[in-house]
């Protein structure tokens, strides 16, 4: 018999009861927010503004890993770096109710970061530089490390072992991915001694709210890795000139607060390739969650894997020295 899907028992009554068990009075209002990895809700409160609650995906992170995420957010907040940190209730940030772990956050409004706004990009550079100056002070002990093994070989092996790759494409897929992984390894070797620091890890426009400046809203994927991982996803230029102009703006702001190792720029295409492999495996690992086939109906189709072959081959070509 198949195990029950994650969140099978997570219903409005359980959510509201979990929060009220912390001594908080809910109004009964509950609004689901856009999130697939975790379950996130806006919860109405009786005598205060609504709160945001995040119910963590079962069996994804250990308690120690989640608490490191929370501690990092609180550390940044203490240094007046604008990040939405978990609320401390009864001396804790991580709570448990009927097998579900959850945290509470203040609601934060804002608009989407404008990636084509050079002033915003320079501001983001200063913001990330400040974040990295704190992130470089000490390492994570219980979070992932962004490297070829964790974000490349492991996702690839999972996709093969779980039989997600169509038989007609498997030979070509394996050939391209194994070539790509070798190229990624060579890129890291050419970059030399790259420092691994605590990062946001998923620093794209969707995880930034803009309101008189940037504010990070989600540290769920924070990890150890090279600093450029928090930079390359903010670059959206269509030409080399546009890309270089955007990178220059970000790094001009960044270097005001933290020294950037310019050898890391050689890792951008390698990191992009690792993200592509990791993303496919992420969707595959979540395919037993009913929310995923509904939200990503194009995944695991023949057309999806055919497009992946083309995209991964393009990365191989880009990684040729």
The CA–CA distances, whole Å, from 251 to 152, 217, 292 equal: 27, 22, 36
Identify the three-state secondary structure at position 209.
Answer: strand
Alpha-carbon torsion 89, 206, 286, 279, what sign? negative
Q: What is the DSSP string of 211-234?
A: SSSEEE---TT-EEE-GGGGTGGG
Q: How far apart are the C-alpha atoms of 275 and 311, rounded to whole Å?
A: 12
Q: How far apart are the C-alpha atoms of 58 and 3, rounded to whole Å?
A: 13
Six token digits for residue 69? 């995420």
Q: How buried is residue 299: exposed, middle or buried, by Cβ count under 10 Å (0-12/13-18/19+)?
A: middle
Find the largest Cα–Cα distance for the chain. 61
Catalytic residues: 202, 218
CA dihedral 200, 204, 207, 210 (to 10 degrees): 110
Q: Which bin fits 38, alpha (ψ -120 to 50), beta or left (φ > 0)?
A: beta
């Amino acid at each position: 018999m198949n195990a029950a899907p994650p969140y099978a028992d997570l219903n409005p009554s359980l959510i509201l009861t979990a929060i009220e068990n912390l001594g908080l009075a809910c109004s009964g209002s509950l609004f689901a927010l856009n999130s697939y990895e975790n379950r996130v809700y806006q919860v109405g409160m009786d005598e205060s503004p609504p709160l945001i609650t995040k119910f963590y995906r079962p069996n994804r992170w250990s308690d120690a890993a989640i608490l490191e995420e929370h501690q990092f957010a609180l550390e940044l907040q203490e240094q007046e770096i604008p990040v939405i940190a978990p609320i401390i209730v009864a001396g804790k940030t991580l709570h448990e109710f009927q097998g579900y772990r959850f945290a509470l956050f203040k609601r934060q409004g804002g608009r989407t970061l404008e990636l084509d706004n050079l002033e915003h990009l320079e501001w983001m550079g200063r913001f990330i530089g400040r974040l990295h100056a704190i992130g470089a002070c000490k390492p994570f002990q219980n979070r992932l490390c962004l490297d070829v093994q964790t974000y490349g070989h492991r996702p690839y092996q999972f996709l093969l072992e779980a039989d997600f790759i169509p038989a007609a494409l498997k030979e070509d897929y394996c050939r391209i991915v194994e070539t790509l992984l070798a190229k990624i390894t060579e890129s890291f070797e050419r970059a030399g001694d790259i420092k691994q620091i605590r990062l946001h890890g998923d620093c794209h426009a969707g995880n930034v709210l803009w309101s008189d400046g940037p504010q990070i809203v989600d540290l769920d994927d924070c990890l150890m890795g090279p600093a450029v991982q928090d930079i390359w996803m903010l670059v959206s230029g269509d030409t080399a000139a546009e890309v270089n102009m955007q990178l220059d703006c970000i790094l001009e702001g960044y270097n005001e607060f933290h020294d950037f190792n310019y050898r890391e720029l050689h890792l951008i295409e390698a990191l992009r390739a690792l993200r592509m492999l990791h993303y496919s495996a992420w969707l595959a690992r979540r395919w037993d969650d009913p929310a995923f086939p509904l939200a990503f109906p194009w995944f695991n189709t023949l057309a999806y894997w055919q497009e992946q072959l083309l995209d991964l081959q393009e990365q191989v070509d880009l990684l040729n020295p």
